[in-house]
Structure 1
Amino acid sequence: MIWPALLPWVALTGHTIVNAALLRRLSAGQTSAERIAVLLPLRNEAERVTPCLESLLNQRGVRNLEIIVLDDGSTDGTADVVRAAAPGSTVRLLTGAALPPGWLGKPHACAQLADAAADADVLVFLDADVVLAPDAIAGAATLLRKTGVDLLSPYPRIVGAGRLVQPLLQWSWLTFLPLRIMERSPRPSLAAAGGQWLVVDRAGYERAGGHAAVRDDVLEDIGLARAVKRSGGRIALADASGFADCLMYTSWPDLRDGYSKSLWASFGSPAGAAAVVTLLILLYAVPPLAALVLAASHPVLALWSLAAYGIGVVGRVVSARATGGRAWPDALAHPISVLIFGWLVVRSFRLRRRGLLAWRGRPV
């Protein structure tokens, strides 16, 4: 009776496999005649904005491309770095306005950028830690139109610190989110997006209320995707690991603080967070521990636990292969990844309760 008891793990990993096979992907060699604006909000990004800008200046296949950069109160000379990286180019550098009451920093910066790109048909919101391949913008704009959605979230390959934690982002939506159903469903709750790179139809963006609709949302990317759905639009995720790299964090303290600032907002409530974390631990962290503990006294249960662990590892491998991640030996540490994630969730709620959350010098 071992195998029927493994149905939850088989079903979830099977869903991962199906999603990976159906995952939309960018194509090279595409062209676009639309007016496209790449919008780059910057706050203290002097150390890493240059590769991003250089990759934008090397884009091909787009006939009408405008690059607009907004310096959002940087104190590290970010604006000077932008000028040095793009001398005499078509990059337009703006100075951000003071943050109004009721707004968070990134939504306000993105709203200003969108206003500055009044003539664009397609808005491309990009973070400074993303470096694009030459065909990336044309490929993303083409896929936006091919799928007929209003918001496309092309997910880059995540590099840098956090090999145990970062891959959980892609794994989670491949494992638990029915991607094609999400595209067709009008339910705002069935939405996902990655703010590192968003490609948005201008008309759909305005119908959704733009970033003003998510002005105080810590997870403004998911908030914007939900706003698009509420306005009658559609969204889609795509793998862009062959077209973009994202260096989100360069150290464990940066990753810890980055996750802590927003995880509290990911679950709706502390009870929801507790339920999700408990389920993940039961499914993916308990089985290998149980296999060790029960090996001598209950070999059948130990075998069941080992099989559950192995099926979970397979899901992690499939996710890594589908999204440009590292499969081995990282997938074997999947239970540790889940435990670290659980600790980060607890830390996020604790700091939130104490009013200690901040990012880039601003309180959250």
Structure 2
Amino acid sequence: MRVLVRSGAVLSGSGVAIAALNARTLPRLDRRAAATTEPVTVCIPARNEAAAAPALIADLRAQRGVADLRVLILDDDSTDGTGAAVHDAIDGDARFAVHRRDGDPPPGWVGKPAACARLAELSTARDGVLVFLDADVRLAPEALAASVVELRRSGADLLCPWPFQVAVSAAERVLQPLLCWSWFATAPVPVANRSARPSMAIACGQFLVFDAAGYRAVGGHRAVAGSVVEDLDLARALRRSGGRTVVVAAGDLAHCRMYDGALQARAGHGRWLWTAFGSPAGASAVLAAALAAYLVPPLAAVFGRGRVRRWGLAGYGCAVTSRLLARRTESGGRLTARDGVDALAHPLSVVALTALTADSHLRHRRGGHTWKGRRLRHL
């Protein structure tokens, strides 16, 4: 037990060391960035997004510093009135165009890559910068200009401005902060952003900013037609072809409430977690290490004695600190009392992630994943 607790504490300590490095070095979008004059085309796949899309459209209409902006929206066979809601929100703004696709994706395609590929086809008359946004993302007025300026400053083919993940319900507060923390405490960003290794790519499909020529050269979303993690797979494809991908903190320039409550969180995360860590055996190994690092030390802090308890307290303290560093960086420098409470519950988050991953693998084996009314055909 002493060896297990000490090993877990050391793993947790390595996580906080990486998180501290990233907190100091992760590039951030600068809202004071100069304006851009090159063409910027924003693509928004929207399936049953009548409630979310109008707010994003309002944000895009309010963007500053983008002289040549075009926004393409695909109503992807929605059944909730998305098309009408989008048209009302556009209110005749000539920079926006709405298209509709009926029916399921073509054979061999997952829904989101198919929708993004169609939007990219519609944008082929324009060069410059190609931006993909999920409909539930919210943007500050300087977000697009700052992203384009950072894309060009970095020399990357793909820039991922990481949005702050809003968490409201208990289930969201347990799970959503792990999206950022999972790479923030494991991947040294100065290395990851300079590396050409596909395995070190970091991306979030909520907000992706591409050099249009680089995107098309690699085949765009056609290269990841059957992927349920098309963001990471497209970043990896770019790296394999010699391109560069970079992650930056969007801070207070972009945020997203990804899921609303426990049922959506289970369905949304479950549809892709079975792909994480390469295989069931890989997932078992990684999650066992995570439980050793983030569950064993706090249990030892409560139930252990002497040195075992001290090692447990040290490991638990490192875990909470790494979680707070990730959340503070993700938010643009803000921490709330709720963030502190959620960080203290980090062992519960790791247990929940383990259970959700097991559930995802089980449902994948049974062919039971659905999302927004579509059964996912995993390839």
What range is the shorter-chain TM-score in? over 0.9
The answer (yes or no) to whether the contact 2:40–2:128 under 8 Å persists in 1 is yes
Shift of 1:23: 0.6
Q: Which runs of 5+ in 2 are unaligned?
A: none
Shift of 1:120: 3.1
Look up the match of 2:276: 266
| C-alpha contact 1:132 1:244 (8 A) present in aligned 2 | yes
Q: Given that residues 208 and 230 in structure 1 are in contact (C-alpha distance below 8 angstroms), is that contact kept between their aligned partners in structure 2?
A: no
Q: CA deviation at 1:205?
A: 0.4
Query: 1:307, 1:180 → 2: CA distance?
Result: 27
Deviation at 1:95, TM superposition (A): 1.3
* Cross-structure match for 2:132: 125
- 1:10 aligns with 13
1:121-143, CA deviations, whole angstroms, 9 ceiling, x for partnerless residues? Answer: 10000000001000000000000
C-alpha displacement of 1:308: 1.0
Task: Say if 1:111 and 1:211, in contact at 8 Å, map to a contact too.
Answer: yes
Q: What is the aligned partner in structure 2 of residue 251 from structure 1?
A: 261
Q: 2:101 aligned with 1:96, yes or no?
A: yes
Distance 2:213 2:72 in 1: 19
Q: Which has the higher contact order (CA 8 A, sep 6+)?
A: 2
> Which of 123, 137, 159 is equivalent to 2:144?
137
- Structure-to-structure mapping, 1:181-330, within 5 angstroms: 181-294=191-304, 298-324=305-331, 326=336, 327-330=339-342
* 2:114 counterpart residue number: 108
1:350 is the counterpart of 2:357: no
Letter of the aligned partner of 2:323 in structure 1? R
Task: Give aligned-pair identity as a percent.
Answer: 43
Question: Secondary structure of the residue that 1:177 maps to in structure 2?
Answer: coil
Q: Kindly state the Cα deviation for residue 319 of structure 1 after the two structures are TM-superposed.
A: 1.0
Instruction: Kindly provide the amino acid, as one letter, of the partner of residue 109 in structure 2.
Output: W
Quote the offset at 1:97 in angstroms.
5.5
For 2:349 and 2:341, locate their aligned partners in 1 and report how far apart those are by CA, in whole Å: 13
Cα distance in 2 between the residues matched to 1:29 and 1:188: 32
Q: Aligned partners of 1:317 and 1:96: how far apart in 2?
A: 42
- Find the aligned partners of 2:221 and 2:349 in 1 and give their Cα distance: 33
Given that 2:21 and 2:188 are in contact with CA atoms closer than 8 Å, whether structure 1 keeps it comes out as: no
How many angstroms does 1:7 deviate by? 3.7
More displaced 10-residue stretch of structure 1: 88-97 or 101-110: 88-97
- The answer to whether the 8 Å contact 1:53/1:86 transfers is yes
What TM-score comes out, normalization by structure 2 length? 0.92
Question: How many positions carry a matched residue from both structures?
Answer: 361
Offset at 1:145?
0.5
- What is aligned with 2:55? 51
Residue 340 of structure 1, CA deviation: 0.5
Instruction: Tell me the SS of whatever aligns to 1:21.
Output: helix
SS in 2 for 1:189: helix
| 1:12, distance to aligned residue in structure 2 (A) | 1.9
User: How do 1:77-96 residues align onto structure 2 when only pairs under 5 Å count?
Assistant: 77-89=81-93, 90-96=95-101
1:27: which partner in 2?
Answer: 30
Q: 1:93, 1:332 → 2: CA distance?
A: 45
The amino acid that maps onto 2:279 is S
Deviation, 1:4, is 8.4
Cα distance per residue 1:249-275 (max 9 Å; x no partner): 111111111111110012210011111
The aligned amino acid for 2:358 is V
1:36 paired with 2:48, answer no
**CA RMSD for the aligned pairs?**
1.7
Paired amino acid for 2:307? V
Q: Deviations over 1:316-342 (max 9, x none)?
A: 111111111653111111101100011
Q: TM-score, normalised by structure 1?
A: 0.96
In structure 1, the partner of 2:375 is: 363
How many Å apart are 1:276 and its aligned residue? 1.1
Give the Cα separation in 2 of the matches to 1:113 and 1:158.
25
Deviation at 1:11, TM superposition (A): 2.3
Q: What does residue 66 of structure 1 align with? A: 70
Secondary structure of the 1:95 match is strand
Runs of 4+ more than 4 Å apart = 1-6
Work out the CA distance in 2 between the residues paired with 1:220 and 1:22. Answer: 27
| Cα displacement string for residues 224-265 of structure 1 (whole angstroms, at most 9, x for unaligned residues) | 100110111000111112101101111111111111111001
Alpha-carbon offset, residue 10 of structure 1: 2.4
